[in-house]
A = this chain, B = another copy of it.
Amino acid sequence: MAKPKKTPRPKAETPKGFRDYFGAEVTHRAEMLRKIAAVYHRYGFDALESSAVETVEALGKFLPDVDRPNEGVFAWQEDAEGEKPGDWLALRYDLTAPLARVYAQHRNDLPTPYRRYAMGPVWRNEKPGPGRFRQFYQCDADTVGAPSVAADAEICAMLADCLEEVGIERGDYIVRVNNRKVLNGVMEVAGVLDPAAPEKFAHERGIVLRAIDKLDRLGSDGVRALLGEGRKDDSGDFTDGAGLSDAQADVVMGFMEAKRADGTATVARLRELVAGSQTGARGVDELELIADLLAAGGYGPDRIEIDPSVVRGLGYYTGPVFEAELTFDIQDEKGRTRNFGSVAGGGRYDDLVKRFTGQEVPATGVSIGVDRLLAALAAKGRLDTRAEGPVVVTVMDKARMADYQAMVAELRQAGIRAEVYLGNPKNFGNQLKYADRRGSPVAVIEGGDEKAAGVVQIKDLILGAKMAENATLEEWKGRPSQHEVPRDQLVAKVREILELQGA
């Protein structure tokens, strides 16, 4: 008989595609979410926090012909209750699907229109890649039940306010607005959408939509190839095209390139392009109205502009589409200058709760990419990265822990982040190494001699480090890095050093 195997030790690892966030990574994000929530709130949006877990049925990811919900979500089956098989549950993959469920469930108790914001993690069961995680934050605001484009305009203004609130200066971003209805008008004019027979050319339109959604990646030539005969990629694979003639393709390409020097000229150009299409004209009217409403609120084209080259999401949304882009350059990891690009996007979608209630309810919303925004602020040096380590009260005499505890309590009560060293105090060098690892600005020392003399030593660790770097020391001569002060001046002296360091 085989000997029973000893259970091996468990591996201390996050699951693949998940990660831990430490210290400032957590607090910077929390601070950003707090600021965005304040703007959302000021705009009349109410907080909503639904649970991370939904039924697969409510999420709408269930394919009836497979045992297990399809890829893309983390799902599991509840235990059976008697004869009844357990429900399939899943982690939410975004914040919009739960909003649809919440609105359908609670609509009689909610105001109409319902403005709500939500922020929190979502989960995707996808192959993780570098910088691509299976849990990440979303930060959304949506207005449900408002058909008017005033709702869309409001969200664009709010998005601009959010960006400025978190530290993106005016001029460093632009909110660009487009409209799916204008594209539909363009498709009519190009002859791939017949309002009298909307099912016709569905296949071609599908290819057109997918093609323009790839503009960023493939460029004009690639998109044009897909609009026409098709495209062979670098690997030699061939993608079928929509089979549009050059003249038809010109209309579609003209839409994406319709941006002119100002909004009035852009609107005029779009009117030309959709001439003859009612839907297209309505779409241009909507864009014009959004621009007027925004101008009335003081949001001019320096912050929000009509830009038909916004193509992301045109396939998904049904009306206005918007995207916020940061306009400054950053250095990428290889030292190349790049445009930072998109940090938020959204638009109007009208089938939010139809699955649940059969009724179409108009909705529009925005999602801010918090992690990308944090990366942008870090790249611009606009995150507060001052050493925020605690003041460390060192332990010179283990028997006098109460003395050190009293010091640290005084510092904390004065609002100063502080700790007493709680490791083994035998080796004083270890205490200073600990303070260094913590990024401590100040160390406090009170040995037996100091105690007898009623004084404490206060070490400026930031200045000390600078002096250690600088061989000549000349420039530091006038500023000592260690101070001896009477015990009762501990808090005042520490505060003074912290203020000097911050200056």
Contact = CB atoms under 8 A, between A and B. Distances in A.
A355 interface: yes
Contacts of A473: none
A419 B115 contact: yes
A339 interface: no
A46 to B, nearest CB: 5
A51 B293 CA distance: 42
A145 B26 contact: no
A171 interface: no
Contacts of A157: 409
Interface in A26-40: 26-27, 30, 34, 37
A21 interface: yes
A218 B115 CA distance: 49
A356 to B, nearest CB: 4
A22 B49 CA distance: 6
Interface in A409-435: 409, 412-413, 415-420, 422-424, 434
Contact of A422 (B42, B113, B123, B295): B113
A102 interface: yes
A145 B423 CA distance: 7
Contacts of A423: 112-113, 145-146
Interface stretch (A229-237, A274-282, A398-406, A478-486): A398-406
Contact of A390 (B44, B150, B153, B358): B44
A405 B10 contact: no
B37 A20 contact: no
A52 B124 CA distance: 13
A415 to B, nearest CB: 7
Residue with the highest number of chain B CB atoms closer than 10 Å, among A19, A20, A75: A20
A329 B355 CA distance: 48
A327 interface: no
Contacts of A91: 52-53
Contacts of A43: 412, 417-419
A55 interface: yes
A248 interface: no
A15 B102 CA distance: 12
Contacts of A374: none
A298 interface: yes
Contact of A296 (B134, B405, B434): B405
Contacts of A11: 55, 57-58, 356
A22 B48 CA distance: 5
Contacts of A115: 419
Contact of A355 (B10, B76, B295, B418): B10
A389 to B, nearest CB: 8
Interface string A1-22: 0000001011111111011111
A356 B12 contact: yes
Given A26-B48, A49-B26, A150-B401, A20 B102 contact: yes
Interface string A123-157: 10000000000110000000101111011011001
B48 A412 contact: no
A121 interface: yes
Interface in A61-103: 64, 74-76, 78, 87, 89, 91, 100-102
Contacts of A135: 51-53
A104 interface: yes
A437 interface: yes
A390 B299 CA distance: 21
A15 B53 contact: yes
A403 B292 CA distance: 10
Nearest to A401: B150
A334 interface: no
Interface of A: 7, 9-16, 18-27, 30, 34, 37, 41-44, 46-55, 57-58, 60, 64, 74-76, 78, 87, 89, 91, 100-102, 104-106, 111-113, 115, 121, 123, 134-135, 143, 145-148, 150-151, 153-154, 157, 161, 289, 292-299, 353, 355-358, 390, 401-403, 405-406, 408-409, 412-413, 415-420, 422-424, 434, 437-438
Which 7 A-B residue pairs are closest in the complex by CB-CB distance? A44-B419, A297-B409, A12-B104, A26-B47, A296-B402, A76-B76, A146-B422
